[in-house]
Amino acid sequence: HVLVALTANCAGGVAYAVDITVIQKIFYKEYYGFLANLLLIFTTQMLGYGMAGVLRRYLVYPAAMIWPANLVQVALFNTLHKEENLAPGQWSRFKFFCVAAFAMFWYQWIPGFLFPALSAIAWVCWINPKNHILAQVGGTKGLGIGAISLDWNNLVSYLGSPLVVPWWAQVNMAMGFFLIAYVMVPIAYYTNLWDAQRFPMLSSGLFRVDGDKYNYTHVLERNTLSVKGYAEEGPLRITTFFALVYGIGFAGLTSMITHTWLYHRHKLVAQWKQSRTMSEDIHHKLMQAYPEVPDWWYATLFFGVTAVCVFTCEYYGYMPWWAVLLAILLAVVFALPVGLIQALTNQQPGLNIITEYVIGYILPGEPIPNVTFKTLGYISMAQAMIFTSDLKLGHYMKVPPRAMFWAQLLGTVIAGTINLVTANWLMDTQKDICSEENKLMSCPMARTFFSASVIWGVIAPNLMFGPTS
């Protein structure tokens, strides 16, 4: 049962590299072919699995690395399979689970279909519906102060379930959110910092200096930066909120490295020295009954996938071979600090900002290499976290490591293939897909992905954040 769940975990999400295919076909009007896209998806999804062979010594074997989300899955598996001795009339955990799941299934129809307004009740706006400031502060398209949601999917859509995050981590996240969203953003907007009031308060869109929408096609010439078009269209502007998001993202990455060095360096060195000896963790001792996955399996996977990725990117023109190696280096450097944070807090800092920033300076005016570099550097690290987390779940549930290794790879292959086939079918059959006119399939994630490719790839950081910006 655990193996089936792990395979489903790999197949449950959408491969990040699919967005490259989408923006290529929809926005940049080019297509490298099915095989090229499939190889890119497989390599970006599997590269991180090779890193897990090293990370397991620091993020799986130590008892302190709890991976909070896994504890929920362990409780569920025990609920479904463990036999209980109950008193007459006492509910079993399985019965309670079935009743709760049944009730949630029927309730979700209300905010999800019958009465969507329950997903975000902006009661503050009811005080004066025509007040523009109240709409900005309390509306669902604004800061949402005081808004109430009765839709569980809405609550967990971004940061995950609060039930699996340790209390101390929740407090830190809540304080950070309050400071940024309810203090910094309003102050910046209402003091008109960087001409903030020319643009919406909250938006990831691209704008001209005068506040009109940025005509990205005007600055593109054969999918690179048109100097003449850029001079005519003018500098790119983003909202103050979007700028703060980027700035805080950079601050978070640097603080993550600093935190790891200050608080965990001695433990990591000690764990490295003891990695070849028996761990004191009871779960690790019990797992000695199964043959471990050899290091050379992980090494073969890592270097083999790297070679295929270099070939794919160089042959099909996604980006130069040296950019592939640089992206992998960034993922390797950040994998352990990110893993420590996720293993303790169930939150994963992303590398999407730093990766697109680095390659934007090295290869300005090149959107496709920019998003490919970002995908490889970010997702290979994220996939390493998924596999490492599943290895810890296998420790808790005493599942043979080699069986988990093959189950993960199988799920990744199945998911990647289905993702790409589905995306191509939708783009070929749906009219105006990913456009604002198509209300059912506006592709918000792909549009944000495209906006980032224009900011960091076409216009690039030297024009966006340089001294002349």
* Model confidence pLDDT, tens digit, residues 346-366: 888 888 888 988 999 999 988
Q: Are 384 and 48 in contact (CB under 8 A)?
A: yes
- The reported pLDDT for the residue numbered 426 is 87
- CA–CA separation, 181 and 170 (whole Å): 16
- The reported pLDDT for the residue numbered 160 is 80
Of 141-145, 238-242, 294-298, where does the model show the most confidence?
294-298
pLDDT band at 34 (very low <50, low <70, confident <90, very high): very high
Angle 38-16-405 from CA coordinates, rounded to 5°: 75
pLDDT of 203 higher than 60? yes
pLDDT band at 223 (very low <50, low <70, confident <90, very high): confident
For 66-77, write each residue's pLDDT tens digit: 899 898 888 888
pLDDT of 437 higher than 80? no
Burial 74-107 (b: 16+ CB within 10 A, else e): beebebeeeeeeeeeeeeeeeeeeeeeeeeeeee
- The reported pLDDT for the residue numbered 81 is 80
Angle between helices 367-397 and 18-26 (to 10 degrees): 150
pLDDT of 197 higher than 60? yes
pLDDT of 79 higher than 60? yes
Prediction pTM value: 0.85
pLDDT of 279 higher than 60? no
How much of the chain, in percent, has pLDDT values that exceed 90? 29
How much of the chain, in percent, has pLDDT values that exceed 70? 95
- The reported pLDDT for the residue numbered 273 is 66
- The reported pLDDT for the residue numbered 192 is 92
pLDDT of 438 higher than 80? no
Residues 269-295, mean pLDDT to the nearest whole number: 74
Which residue would you say has higher pLDDT here, 112 or 205? 112
Among positive and negative, which fits the CA dihedral 185, 188, 192, 193? negative
pLDDT band at 102 (very low <50, low <70, confident <90, very high): very high
- The reported pLDDT for the residue numbered 265 is 80
pLDDT of 208 higher than 70? yes
For 369-415, write each residue's pLDDT tens digit: 999 999 999 989 998 998 899 999 988 989 999 998 998 888 889 98
pLDDT band at 275 (very low <50, low <70, confident <90, very high): low
pLDDT band at 316 (very low <50, low <70, confident <90, very high): very high
Residues 8-12, mean pLDDT to the nearest whole number: 72
Residues 198-227, mean pLDDT to the nearest whole number: 86
pLDDT of 277 higher than 70? no
